Amino acid sequence: MKIVLNLLSLLSSLFFPFFTTNAETPVCADDEEIFQLRLITTDDFSSWDGAPASYRVFTESINEVHAECTTNCRNDYPGADIQLCLPRDRCHTVGVGRALGRWISCFNGGTEELLVKWGSKTIRSSNAYFFDRVDFGDGCEANPVCDVEKEVEFEFFFDRDLGNPDSFSWSLTDAVTNEIVYLEGQPYNKPANNTFTYERVCIPRISCLEFYMGYLTNTTGLGYDDSSYSIRLDGVIYSEGNLRMGPHVGFFGGSQANLNKTVILGNNCTVESVCNSADEDLFAMEFTTAAEVECSSPSNDFNFSSAISSQDFPFWMKNDAGTGTLFPNYVWSGDFEDFEVSQSYAFMSCIANDKCTEFYFGTENSVVSYKIFQNGKELTQRVVHSDEDDPSKGLTTTNVGVCASGAGTSSLMYGRFVASTFTILALLNMFW
């Protein structure tokens, strides 16, 4: 099954249409319940006096859209307030996305808050939302989107930047056979348009997948595409942030083409299925963030934050084989659009099997636990750097690659965490 939500925004660089909100609370019938979506902003300092956002409320089983922001509307004080009467016995969905990325109210100041209610019950609340999807209604438990015994749920969120070429596309394929295509698409795009896309598809539970997104090599008219996206499997976030694509993407004075990205995900991946096993090993990591993180600003309206800034959550693994390239790290916390609390993350990448490198993780961190693997074997070495004269003070390191302790080259499957436990992982791939 697949749900494709294209919320088209007609917007210019100087004007964003305003959200329309309900004038009054509707009176619902006996077989209905009231649904409320609020995108709250304060009248002082916020991310952009109401950052552009998108939403759609729909019932997939009957292919009906109940309300949507069809333009990437600005969300001025006091923010959008959408109230609807919906059948109580069905399963409904609301999808939300912010065009300008995540705004952490507790870190950046002001308020950008998401609030979703079904009847008198608050079913989602976040003071640092980015992309989100909530299923609600009495029919959800009886009619889940995917067969939880046999399938996992893949999700792709995408908020398109203005006026980029239409040659961008994406596809989700079986990494083992490269023959099964579970999903493929292309955003609706015209000059000066934004597109918010949400796609959901059920995949066999035992799978190894590759998600590709990017431009054709002969694309013309592309400057720099910083569109926002999020890639998830059974709720675990594998990749989330900005595309950072273009023919001349430069960091530290460099200028190289970066036109596409491939994300490995699933619970049946081996070094043979996704890497060149003669020259590479399969590296993977997983972690789950803490449920409660106190606000860093005492003047804020909140005691706890819904997200952790990547500045407060350092981790990386350098790609020594890629020194001088555009992305000299296999994984880096700065590639993520910060980190939601009580959320599992994942990452997999092929690494050179003839070189030694180190994985760095902040010793003081807001995670429940983290694990790293090489060819399916967990790497348990942890060196805590605490000496004052140690340049790595405050970090915990683990040897990876040819110098990994007990890593070996056996063909072990990696991915036990994704199946149904929501247990974990984390992704990224950029510079330090």
pLDDT tens, per residue, the chain with 432 residues: 444 433 333 333 333 444 445 557 899 999 999 999 998 887 655 445 566 788 889 999 999 999 988 555 667 777 889 999 999 999 999 999 887 788 888 887 778 889 999 999 999 999 999 999 999 999 998 888 899 999 999 999 988 776 777 788 999 999 998 889 999 988 765 544 457 788 999 999 999 999 999 998 877 878 888 888 999 999 999 999 988 888 877 654 456 778 899 999 999 999 999 999 999 999 999 999 999 888 876 656 788 999 998 888 899 998 875 544 556 789 989 888 999 999 999 999 999 999 999 999 999 988 988 999 999 999 999 999 999 999 999 999 999 999 998 654 443 344 444 333 333 333 333 333
Q: Residue 229 to residues 105, 164, 187, 312: CA-CA distances in angstroms?
A: 20, 15, 12, 22
Q: Do the domain assignments include residue 388?
A: yes
My answer on whether 257 and 300 are in the same domain is no
My answer on whether 173 and 84 are in the same domain is no
What is d(CA 330, CA 319) in angstroms, rounded to the nearest whole number?
5
What is d(CA 50, CA 46) in angstroms, rounded to the nearest whole number?
7
My answer on whether 173 and 212 are in the same domain is yes
Q: Residue 303 to residues 127, 130, 297: CA-CA distances in angstroms?
A: 11, 20, 9
What is d(CA 30, CA 42) in angstroms, rounded to the nearest whole number?
35
- Which stretches of 188-259 are assigned E, i.e. beta strand? 193-204, 208-214, 228-233, 236-242, 246-249, 256-258
My answer on whether 219 and 303 are in the same domain is no
Q: Which residues contact 390 (CB under 8 A, 6 or more apart)?
A: none
My answer on whether 112 and 44 are in the same domain is yes
Q: What is the CATH number of the domain that holds 213?
A: 2.60.60
Q: Do the domain assignments include residue 422?
A: no
Q: Are 138 and 89 in contact (CB under 8 A)?
A: yes
H-helix or E-strand spanning residue 282: strand 280-289
Tokens of 3: 């749900």
My answer on whether 222 and 293 are in the same domain is no
Write down the pLDDT at residue 78: 78
| Chosen domain end from 121, 142, 163 | 142
Tokens of 51: 């950052």
Considering its fold, how many domains does the chain have in total?
3
- Which stretches of 44-111 are assigned E, i.e. beta strand? 53-59, 64-68, 79-87, 92-98
My answer on whether 47 and 82 are in the same domain is yes
Q: Are 270 and 413 in contact (CB under 8 A)?
A: yes
H-helix or E-strand spanning residue 304: strand 304-305
Write down the pLDDT at residue 146: 93
Write down the pLDDT at residue 89: 95
Q: Do the domain assignments include residue 413?
A: no
Q: What is the DSSP letter of 17?
A: P
Return the closest-CA partner of residue 269 out of 431, 381, 425, 150: 425
Q: Do the domain assignments include residue 341?
A: yes
Q: Do the domain assignments include residue 315?
A: yes
My answer on whether 293 and 175 are in the same domain is no
Q: What is the DSSP string of 25-44?
A: PPPPPTTEEEEEEEEEE-SS
Q: Count CB-CB contacts under 10 A for residue 250.
A: 12
My answer on whether 206 and 285 are in the same domain is no
Write down the pLDDT at residue 80: 83
| Chosen domain end from 266, 297, 313 | 266
My answer on whether 10 and 119 are in the same domain is yes
Write down the pLDDT at residue 261: 93
Write down the pLDDT at residue 402: 93
Q: Which domain holds residue 366?
A: 271-401
My answer on whether 262 and 276 are in the same domain is no
My answer on whether 23 and 87 are in the same domain is yes
Q: Do the domain assignments include residue 200?
A: yes
Write down the pLDDT at residue 362: 93
Q: Do the domain assignments include residue 243?
A: yes
Write down the pLDDT at residue 30: 96
Rg of the chain (C-alpha set)? 22
| Chosen domain end from 215, 244, 266 | 266
Q: Are 19 and 73 in contact (CB under 8 A)?
A: yes
